[in-house]
């Protein structure tokens, strides 16, 4: 029933430009770096122990003495699985014997850590074998399994090999027995396996995986609440909050069955992972009630609870959504993983129905929060993505301890860094999708993509540096090419072999549909409107009233102290002021188009409060893309500036 499906990661070959460069950075730097971190071979970073945990599990299963304890989060295995998934994608570029060796070693660790019956989780095998399946609410067993499933699918897709798939199918069979054959109640506290099982279903064609995914989605939030039952029975807990008198079912999006949920609540990553699976399932089955629930939750997230940077989950308390329009810029959480999950959700919504809105949000999250999650050198990462940073307050005030001014090299809870890696190294599967005889382009990347419709496309662009995108058709077919027309592009032109087209006739719901008998070398060229513009938040958002943000294409800009005499707080943009593009600077922040805004600088004032309006002088406000902030040392940063 889906309008379209993603193309395999291998179908896309990245070319030049911002995102392809980042994808190469992931392959060349991030993946080897993270391998060293996971193996505790990287000096001066937070200890991971993730590979060692798997080794310990293997030893234990072989009956060898295990002298060391399990270390780290209960979901430490998932860091490895996500890394492995990214490594698989990286191998799609072409052979890399060293990386392949690393990946094979890691697959071996998983193989050794797997129990006879297929069970696979180093935490429980090493530390608490008697507690298996007793704490679905918080122990992340199904979550870790989900990530390993995704790694296996990626590994199969990119290398053609079945070895990891075999391990994973044996593991899923174990899970299937537990929850389907034995009829054990339960569903994961942290969704992930639901979307992974659908992927496994598509790769293997085995219906039981889809069935298990559907099961986990359907039983979620059914009464009597499974987690209540579990708490009564289990007698142990991982975190203090799980032991509270009142179970917070919103945290796990399980207060109601999924089809009855109207508002995005709770832990933001869990939420969008769940919604992704719901949308994927709804697309597969065509079930209207589930589709409608997805649309309702999509609106709750993106129409009322999303930052302009595509960040979601505004509070550190539970890493969660709060209430509509509560989007503080300084105390914000906006976890990198949550924006990655929002991209997952957007992709599945796009497959369900081709609406530009979904691709718009995908772009917003990708070019802003997700890219901001990684330092330009690929070795430092943000977990939390503030829209305002003031050294002395950010990271220091007790309400902003989580809002760091600089990216750390690793985290005790390291979910985000490998998540960025796997997303950026599989961009092709987000950028394109294909329907029966329609090929969709959702994101503009320089490079080549192959469809299974008997043709390929090559894209020539340095987007988002410029809005010129030229797509060349390879092959011959009567088909439809659908191009996303971003909502921010005010003036868009589209030519076919040089002939201007009437865009209004072609565009429906944010996509331009070009249908014809295409021939080798046919060219469709798009010009998107890259003029910088100001963005205003609805005045329902208290944090942004009187303020303005600046965007150029999908890229949200910010003012940093280093470009503005160290003081961003005293800057404002002039209501009638212009925004000017500076020349592209290939040496600045990895290559950016800086902007200059006409504005004002006030004197900060000696007194805390004064009846004298601060003296205001015209000032040029220099702006750089938000995604590269914090790459030049600690300094003030703001996305929203007062407009006067």
Q: Which residues bind to its own copies, rule: CB under 8 A?
A: 302-304, 306, 308, 315, 317-318, 320, 322-326, 328, 330-331, 388, 390, 392-393, 396-400, 488, 490, 533-542, 545-547, 549, 551, 567, 569-570, 572, 575, 602-614, 641-644
169 is catalytic: no
Rounded least distance, CB 397 to its own copies, Å = 4
Specify the residue, 330 or 596, whose C-beta has the smaller distance to its own copies: 330
CB of 637 to its own copies, least distance (A): 11
Q: How far is the CB of 484 from its own copies (least distance, A)?
A: 18
- Pairwise CA distance, residues 30 & 82, whole Å: 13
Give the contacts of 299 (CB within 8 A, at least 6 positions apart): none
The residue (of 325 and 513) whose beta carbon lies closer to its own copies is: 325
Between 93 and 536, whose beta carbon lies closer to its own copies?
Answer: 536
Cα–Cα dist 522/457, whole Å: 10
Cβ atoms of 641 and 571 within 8 Å: the answer is yes
Q: Where do we find the tokens 């193996």?
A: 39
Which two structure tokens, joined as six digits, stand for 443? 């994101």
Annotated catalytic residue 525:
no
| Residues across the chain | 644
Calpha distance 167→280 (Å, rounded):
24
Of residues 12 and 307, the one with the C-beta less far from its own copies? 307
Give min distance, CB of 611 to its own copies, in A: 5
Any bridge partners for residue 483, and if so which? 441, 512
Nearer to its own copies, 292 or 603 (CB): 603
CB of residue 489 vs its own copies: minimum separation in angstroms?
Answer: 11
Residues whose CB is less than 8 angstroms from the CB of residue 510 and which lie 6 or more positions away in sequence, other chains included: 354, 355, 356, 357, 359, 360, 484, 485, 486, 487
Instruction: Give CA–CA dist 275/207, Å, rounded.
Output: 21
Smallest gap from Cβ 318 to its own copies, in A, equals 7
Closer to its own copies at the Cβ: 69 or 614? 614
Catalytic residue among 6, 319, 353, 357: 319
Rounded distance between C-alpha atoms, residue 355 and residue 302, angstroms: 14
Q: Is-contact 217 278, C-beta < 8 A?
A: yes
Distance CA(243)–CA(220), nearest Å, equals 21
Q: In angstroms, how far is CA 379 from the centroid of its own chain?
A: 18
User: Distance between the two ends of the chain, CA-based, in angstroms?
Assistant: 50
Which residue among 153, 174, 337, 415 is the active-site one? 415
Nearest approach, Cβ of residue 300 and its own copies (Å):
11
Question: With contact defined as beta carbons under 8 Å apart, do 405 and 634 qualify?
Answer: yes
Contact 18/464 with Cβ under 8 angstroms?
Answer: yes
Active site residues: 319, 415
């Amino acid at each position: 029933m889906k309008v379209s499906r993603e193309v395999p990661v291998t179908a896309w070959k990245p070319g030049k430009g911002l995102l392809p460069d980042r994808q190469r950075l992931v392959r060349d730097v991030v993946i080897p770096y993270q391998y060293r971190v996971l193996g505790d071979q990287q000096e001066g970073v937070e200890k991971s122990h993730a590979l060692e945990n798997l080794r310990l599990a293997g030893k234990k299963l072989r009956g060898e003495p295990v002298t060391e304890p399990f270390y780290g989060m209960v979901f430490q295995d998932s860091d490895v699985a996500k890394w492995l998934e990214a490594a698989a994608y990286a191998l799609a570029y072409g052979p890399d014997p060293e990386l392949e060796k690393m990946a094979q070693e890691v697959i071996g660790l998983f193989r050794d850590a797997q129990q006879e019956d297929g069970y696979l989780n180093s935490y429980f095998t090493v530390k608490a074998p008697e507690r298996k399946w007793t704490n679905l609410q918080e122990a992340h067993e199904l979550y870790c399994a989900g990530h390993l499933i995704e790694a296996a699918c990626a590994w199969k897709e990119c290398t053609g090999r079945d070895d990891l798939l075999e391990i994973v199918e044996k593991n899923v069979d174990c899970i299937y027995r537990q929850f389907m054959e034995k009829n054990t109640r339960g569903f994961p506290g942290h969704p992930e396996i639901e979307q992974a099982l659908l992927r496994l279903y598509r790769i293997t064609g085995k219906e039981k995986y889809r069935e298990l995914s559907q099961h986990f989605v359907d039983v979620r939030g059914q009464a009597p609440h499974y987690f209540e039952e579990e708490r009564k029975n289990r007698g142990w807990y991982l975190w203090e909050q799980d032991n509270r008198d009142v179970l917070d079912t919103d945290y796990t999006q399980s207060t109601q069955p999924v089809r009855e949920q109207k508002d995005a609540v709770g832990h933001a990553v869990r939420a969008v992972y769940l919604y992704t699976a719901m949308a994927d399932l709804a697309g597969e089955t065509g079930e209207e009630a589930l589709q409608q629930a997805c649309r309702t939750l999509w609106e709750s997230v993106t129409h009322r609870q999303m930052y302009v940077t595509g960040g979601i989950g505004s509070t550190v308390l539970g890493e969660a959504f709060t209430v509509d329009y509560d989007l503080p810029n300084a105390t914000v959480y906006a976890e990198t993983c949550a924006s990655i999950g929002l991209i997952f959700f957007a992709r599945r919504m796009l497959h369900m129905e081709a609406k530009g809105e979904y691709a718009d949000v995908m772009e917003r999250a990708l070019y802003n929060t997700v890219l901001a999650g990684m330092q330009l050198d690929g070795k430092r990462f943000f977990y939390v993505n503030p829209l305002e940073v003031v050294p002395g307050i950010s990271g220091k005030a007790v309400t902003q301890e989580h809002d760091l001014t600089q990216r750390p090299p690793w985290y005790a809870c390291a979910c985000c860094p490998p998540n960025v890696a796997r997303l950026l190294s599989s961009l092709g599967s987000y950028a394109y999708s294909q329907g029966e005889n329609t090929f969709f382009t959702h994101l503009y990347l320089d490079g080549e993509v192959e469809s299974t419709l008997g043709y390929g496309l090559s894209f020539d662009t340095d987007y988002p540096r410029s809005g010129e995108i030229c797509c060349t058709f390879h092959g011959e077919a009567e088909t439809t090419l659908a191009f996303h027309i971003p909502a921010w592009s005010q003036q868009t032109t589209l030519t076919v072999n040089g002939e201007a087209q009437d865009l209004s006739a072609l565009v429906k719901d944010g996509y331009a549909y070009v249908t014809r008998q295409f021939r080798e070398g046919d060219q469709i060229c798009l010009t998107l409107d890259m003029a910088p513009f100001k963005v205003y938040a609805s005045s329902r958002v208290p944090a942004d009233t009187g303020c303005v943000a600046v965007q150029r294409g999908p890229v949200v800009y910010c003012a940093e102290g280093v470009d503005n005499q160290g003081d961003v707080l005293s800057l404002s943009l002039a209501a009638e002021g212009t925004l000017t593009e500076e020349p592209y600077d290939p040496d600045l922040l990895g290559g950016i188009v800086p902007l200059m805004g006409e504005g004002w600088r006030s004197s900060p004032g000696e007194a805390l409060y004064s009846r004298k309006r601060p003296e205001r002088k015209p000032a040029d406000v220099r702006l750089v893309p938000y995604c590269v902030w914090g790459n030049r040392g600690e300094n003030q940063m703001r996305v929203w500036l007062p407009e006067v």
